[in-house]
Amino acid sequence: MASYQAFYRQSIEAPDAFWSEQAKLIDWHKPFSRICDYSRPPFAKWFVGGETNLCYNAVDRHAAQRPDAAALIYVSSETGQERSYSYAELKAEVVRMAAILQGQGIARGDRVLIYMPMIPEAAFAMLACARIGAVHSVVFGGFAAASLATRIDDAGPKLVVSAEAGMRNGREVPYKHLLDEAICLAKRPPAKVLMVDRGLHKDWDRVAGRDLDYAALRAAHMDAEVPCTWLESSEPSYILYTSGTTGTPKGVQRDVGGYAVALASSMKHIFCGNAGETMFCTSDIGWVVGHSYIVYGPLIAGMTTLMYEGTPLRPDAGIWWRLAEKYKASVMFSSPTAIRVLKKQDPSWLSKYDLSALKHLFLAGEPLDQPTHEWIMDALKKPVIDNYWQTETGWPILATVRGIEDTPIKFGTPAFPVFGYNLKIFREDGSECGANEKGIVGIVPPLPPGCLSTVWGDDERFVRTYFSLFKEPLVYSSFDWGIRDDQGYHFILGRTDDVINVAGHRLGTREIEEAVQSHSAIAEVAVVGVQDAIKGQMPIAFAVVKDPARVATPELAAVLEREVMAAVDANLGAIGRPGRVHFIAGLPKTRSGKLLRRSIQALAEGRDPGDLTTIEDPAALEQIRKALGVWRF
């Protein structure tokens, strides 16, 4: 391990020299004058004074050198469409989209919200924003109108790019009516909406004076020329919202230069992706993995990126591996949830296709359990690399860095701190844990390039949220429990806060509680994350009703549960829907009124609820036991 240890130590002990070398992996329009400005802790600015552009590094430089090389391959197992774009063709489409945006008055620093299914136009829109210096904010297409409205109000976009519908499991997923409703709810509605009509949903209306037709405007800009806007390294590139414990999503703000360097470095050293190879990431552009490793990372590396609309089981459980064979994917990236879904299928699908080009499969999004890790690695006969990171960091925090050294893979662990992350495990008093001692995973700042630079529009929230747990020393808190073994391998043990991880998607329990409580019959509610064999965690709600007659019989309770589920769908989206809603007479609280969430979660998982000496009403716990059908431990 000496080779990677030396590489890692240099990144921590001599960061200026280390990151100066990594910065050579991208093109700079103007050289930077300083590697890192950390004069205002915990805020860090990387490659100060340097000017560059994400779109130029992802598209233009490759279009100039290898115009006919495949850049983006789009496959939809939902519609049966497959389209391939060379770097020259991708550049042309991005320039056309950029011209459309500029024609609507979008300029440097303006926000553009993207609410799109997994179609090429979504990538065009992201890259076009990067090209002209606009700040994009992609919102996952599964979010309901109310959640979309909060993001519109926070980002304040001048324009929204959307499509009339997506497809999921053979069913149409309408977008337009949700967008229209969100704009009605928003206090800061956009002036314009650019609509991509896929021809999937016939019954939708254009709002006169607001809604624009993408196809018509694209036709009008076929020969457009839009040069890249050169941005100072620390200018914002995008906003991506992530759940918080308050119920109000946080806008993670990313820079330009630091992000480009971090992605280029990770593609080389972690993912071992080379120009001309294909990367197949099965995520969605609405999440950080899609930003970093469907759109920007592979293209910056000069790879072909495979953009997939569909599920791992449609038309059959071999679809991913069939695509990997067809397009000779050398790098794949997915989630433990998806692998657990595939584990329930006929294992012959994993050996049916020629995966000789595949070097390794990366999995991230939630903890990868040892049995699943072992199973998929044995089935594929390929290295399967667990890696751990967050929306906030933008690229892996823990991983096996095989581009530097082929260190052994240990099942159930994301391995070692990635270069640039001064990661330690801390006790709750701020002191550092020893080996095999559980503590809070923290990063000693400055955070490396590519991490969030602040919370959009709220520097104080950035400090309060991420840097208030420990003051001496100042530490970025991941809000995850972790442990390090004697060999230096790290294990992630779960969250310390009220954010849960459902199939790789982080959801604040407070967000779900607010959606449940939007139903007029609900007086009070607690939502906890419960271990789930497939999704990692599943939200479970315990609700107190205003009128007990509403749940007087099992039949009435079932009716109200369905209504509450519908309320969650309407306010947050199906992604936040609880696995169950249990109706109880009261919630367990301390005498000071604090909700005993961890005790509720323990009961729901069949564990000992712990010290209950502070509980105000022990009968409340008995109500939960009864609701769950759990009477003793």
- Give me the mean pLDDT over the 108-120 stretch: 97
| pLDDT confidence of residue 590 | 59
| pLDDT confidence of residue 481 | 86
| pLDDT confidence of residue 515 | 87
Q: Beta 231-232 vs 51-52: how paired, if at all?
A: antiparallel
pLDDT tens digits, residue range 201-232? 888 999 999 999 999 999 999 999 999 999 99
| Residue boundaries of the structural domains of the chain | 2-455, 503-628
| pLDDT confidence of residue 3 | 92
Closest CA to 398 of 460, 311, 480: 480
- Give me the mean pLDDT over the 597-614 stretch: 72
User: In the chain, pLDDT over 70 holds for what percent of residues?
Assistant: 95
| pLDDT confidence of residue 306 | 98
CB atoms within 10 A of CB 618: 10
pLDDT tens digits, residue range 175-187? 999 999 999 999 9
Confidence of residue 600 (pLDDT cuts 50, 70, 90): confident
Can you read off the two tokens belonging to residue 89? 């063709």
* Per-residue pLDDT at 632 exceeds 50: no
- Give me the mean pLDDT over the 286-299 stretch: 96
* Per-residue pLDDT at 246 exceeds 80: no
Long-range contacts of 31-40 (CB under 8 A, 24+ apart): 32/233, 32/257, 36/446, 38/445, 38/446
- Alpha-carbon distance of 592 to 462, in angstroms, equals 29
* Per-residue pLDDT at 630 exceeds 50: no
CATH node for 2-455: 3.40.50.12780
pLDDT tens digits, residue range 470-529? 877 899 999 888 899 999 999 988 777 667 777 767 677 777 887 898 898 988 888 888
Exposed/middle/buried for 534, CB within 10 Å: 0-12, 13-18, 19+?
A: middle
Q: In residues, how long is the chain?
A: 633
> What's at 490, amino acid-wise?
H
| pLDDT confidence of residue 282 | 95
| pLDDT confidence of residue 299 | 98
Domain 503-628: give its CATH superfamily: ANL, C-terminal domain (3.30.300.30)
Q: Between helices 509-517 and 554-571, what is the axis angle to 10°?
A: 120
**Higher local confidence (pLDDT), 325 or 202:** 325
- Give me the mean pLDDT over the 419-436 stretch: 94
* Per-residue pLDDT at 591 exceeds 70: no
Exposed/middle/buried for 48, CB within 10 Å: 0-12, 13-18, 19+?
A: middle
pLDDT tens digits, residue range 353-406? 999 999 999 999 888 888 889 999 999 999 999 999 999 999 999 999 999 999
| pLDDT confidence of residue 512 | 86
- Alpha-carbon distance of 454 to 96, in angstroms, equals 31
Which residues, 6 or more positions from 271, have their beta carbon under 8 angstroms from its beta carbon? 279, 293, 297, 331, 333, 362, 403
- Alpha-carbon distance of 477 to 37, in angstroms, equals 21
- Give me the mean pLDDT over the 228-246 stretch: 89
HEC readout, 333-377:
EECHHHHHHHCCCCHHHHHCCCCCCCCEEEECCCCCCHHHHHHHH
| pLDDT confidence of residue 498 | 66
Whether 49 contacts 97, CB under 8 Å: no
Residue 276 CA, chain-centre distance (Å), reads: 26
- Alpha-carbon distance of 333 to 283, in angstroms, equals 8
> What's at 371, amino acid-wise?
P
- Alpha-carbon distance of 319 to 128, in angstroms, equals 31
- Alpha-carbon distance of 177 to 557, in angstroms, equals 30
| pLDDT confidence of residue 517 | 83
* Per-residue pLDDT at 633 exceeds 50: no
Among the residue ranges 72-86, 279-293, 391-405, 576-590, the one predicted with the least confidence is 576-590
User: In the chain, pLDDT over 90 holds for what percent of residues?
Assistant: 72
- Alpha-carbon distance of 7 to 418, in angstroms, equals 10
CB atoms within 10 A of CB 457: 12
| pLDDT confidence of residue 77 | 96
CA 127 to each of CA 60, 138, 299: distance values in angstroms, whole numbers, following the listed order: 11, 12, 11
Confidence of residue 4 (pLDDT cuts 50, 70, 90): very high
Dihedral Cα 319, 321, 323, 324, nearest 10 deg: 160
